[in-house]
Amino acid sequence: MRHLEPLAAALALVLALVSARADGAEPARLRFDPQFVLAQVAARLGVRLDPAIAPPAVHLESATPLAQFRAAIAAQWGFRPHVFGNAYAVERNEIYLIDEPGYYARLGRSPDESLAHELAHYVQVRYLGADLAEPSWEAEAIAVQAWFSAAHLQPPRATLAP
Ligand SMILES: [Zn+2]
């Protein structure tokens, strides 16, 4: 490690703290590989994945310009959203995923759960011929999300101590 004079070291620390703040908190990270989540979701929906059907690209908010998200989703939603959101863009076969940690902290959720939800929409559209304008598909995606969370993200129940 390089030796620093105490004042220089203190300045370096202050600068590091300032730049960390300026960049905001670290993005929320996916705990699972999207391939794993897709396999789980497909199995839950009774679908056998076909290598000839392209999986969706996943774009994280922290690495994606807002303009790209807006352009990808405007036609599908019928408006140009002002903020980034979790979504499956059908035309482009792309999933957009919020990874701002405060969003998940507020909801008590994780990005993996949201990824499972959007992957359910991918499977519905690409394998089951879904039109996402029909509300029952949303209900199913919510159910898949809840199942994935219970199966993979929530800690197992503690055994009852005597
Ligand atoms: Zn949905």
Task: Give me the CATH number covering residue 73.
Answer: 3.40.390
Residue 144 counted as domain residue: yes
**Which residues form the domain of 147?**
25-151
pLDDT in tens, 152-161: 998 766 666 6
Within 13 Å and on the Cβ side, how many CA atoms surround 138? 5
How remote is the CA of residue 23 from the centroid of ligand 1, in Å?
30
How remote is the CA of residue 158 from the centroid of ligand 1, in Å?
32
d(CA 75, CA 64): 19
Pairing between strand 57-60 and 94-97? parallel
Q: List Cβ neighbours of 89 (8 Å cut-off, separation of 6 or more).
A: 72, 73, 76, 95, 96
Query: 61 forms bridges with which residues in the sheet?
Result: none
pLDDT in tens, 7-50: 555 555 444 444 443 456 799 999 999 999 999 999 999 999 99
How remote is the CA of residue 135 from the centroid of ligand 1, in Å?
9
The model's pTM: 0.81
CA distances from 14 to 32, 38, 51 (A): 34, 43, 51
How many structural domains comprise the chain?
A: 1
Residue 17 counted as domain residue: no
